[in-house]
Amino acid sequence: MEKLITIYINGREYKVEPNQTIMQAADKLGFHIPRLCYHPKLSIEGACRVCIVEVEGAKSFVASCAYPVNDGMKIHTNTQELRRARRDIVELLVDNHPMDCHTCERDGNCELQRLAASMGIRARHFEGERKQYGVDVSGQAVIRNPDKCILCGRCVRMCSEVQQVHNLTQAHRGFNTVVMPAYNMPMAESVCTACGQCINVCPTAAFLEKNYTQELFEKLNDPNLIKVAQFAPSVRAAIGEAFGIEPGANMEGQLVAALRKLGFDYVFDTQFSADLTIMEEATEFLERVQNKGTLPMITSCSSAWMKCLEQFYPDLIDNVSTCKSPMSMQSAITKTYFAQKLGVDPKKILSVAAMCCTAKKYEAARPELEVNGMRATDIVVTTREIAWMIKSAGIDFLNLKPEEQDHPLGMSSGAGVIFGTTGGVMEAAIRTAYELYTGQTLVDIEVDAIRGLKGIK
């Protein structure tokens, strides 16, 4: 451990580790410095200047997200001059922002709104020209609204640094600066993989998932349709957060009950079709190994990864598994086997998937997955959309009596559950391939070496 250094924050002495920024040190000590462009998973931008602090001896205020701590440094985080400067910056952002908070999807969960409220900003003080670019709704999954962009750069860095897609950039200069795909192409025509990570890091509503809740409500009220829902394992662990429950709590029973109250006739867990996927993938893998097929074999479960591979790594297409994703397999079963079991026309079945990933909306709309012009998955909604529908329908989610899901073809295994974790698909494939090849049950079913984010799997 490195030797601690001494810093002073607002007149009090603290011992901190070196080689960190003022913001990082302040966070650990319980001093929250306002910020907008900063994100712990991204590089330092230092663009918004909302995180400025006063350092004695410096010629001007410094950005705490980028300024390193030094031994003996005296820092002030809450002086009258700092509050005034930060307020001026946020006021300018608010003045160039649409004032439609009450109808905005991020109302109550907007970082700009929260920051403005904490600084007591209640009105606009400047009149003049404001950004008016319009909303890009061309894509199946992601909506881009430049009018609500505050140019923090988080989406650009996420798309380039983490996702390595490089679809977004800041174009033009000054007041005309705008975040957009190359050549201002519509999102549907750009190289966007629909992964939705820009939505996750956006502090406002400049990026949102395309909302299909109103269309779904209309179809749920159609008495001529048989409504079938499926949900990914991660949804049952994430949806509780929308109702004030700690993230990770298993709310499967309540989710099933809520979906039935929304009007679904049958509710399936995508975990079952994950088992189907892994059986198919493991069988395909063994066949490739034994018959000298194309290796290594790459899983095809992620919609965003498939689009990324098609666009940037077309030479690897032959390496990709021919299996559909669990969502598409479940939908295919619903409109074939299950339709036959019920004795109904597949066109009379509404197949809805509640998924954790926005790219599943793109996957459902892919023409390659249509059969005789009919989509296997009619509508995909995210965890946030399902939570909103439950609230909108007046369903008391927290007090619902848990209900059992329907089982179209039997029970699912633990292999399907770990699909939502990093390395989970590979681990499930290894387990299944072992048993298929040897005919023996795997004693130690946990393959720790391929879990987590470290290394190449």
Give the DSSP H or E segment for 283. helix 270-290
- What percent of the chain has a predicted confidence (pLDDT) above 90? 83
| Residues 40-82 pLDDT 10s | 999 999 999 999 999 999 999 999 999 999 999 999 999 999 9
Domain 93-209: which topology?
Alpha-Beta Plaits (3.30.70)
Do domains 5-78 and 213-450 share one topology? The answer is no
Predicted local confidence at residue 371, as pLDDT: 83
- Nearest in space to 151 (alpha carbons), one of 164, 167, 169: 169
- Tally the residues of the chain: 457
Q: How confident is the model at residue 411 (pLDDT cuts 50, 70, 90)?
A: low
pTM of the model: 0.92
What is the CATH code for 213-450?
3.40.50.1780
Output the pLDDT for position 241.
Answer: 96
**297, 303, 308, 314: CA torsion to nearest 10:** 50
CA distance linking residue 236 with residue 239, whole number of Å: 6
CA distance 45 to 41: 12
Q: In the chain, what are the domain boundaries? A: 5-78, 93-209, 213-450
pLDDT, tens digit, 9 for 90 and up, residues 235-277:
999 999 999 999 899 999 999 999 999 999 999 999 889 889 9
Stretch among 73-82, 121-130, 205-214 having the lowest mean pLDDT: 121-130
Question: Which residues 6+ apart lie within 8 Å of 423 measured at CB?
Answer: 450, 451, 452, 457
- Identity at 68, one-letter amino acid code: P
Gyration radius from the chain CA atoms: 25
DSSP bridge pairs for 314: none
Query: Where does residue 168 rank: exposed (0-12), middle (13-18), buried (19+ CB within 10 A)?
Result: buried
CA distance 298 to 443: 26
Domain 5-78: which CATH number of 3.30.1360.40, 3.90.1150.10, 3.10.20.740, 3.90.870.10: 3.10.20.740
Roughly how many angstroms between the first and final C-alpha of the chain, as a whole number? 31
Between 310 and 427, name the one with better pLDDT.
310
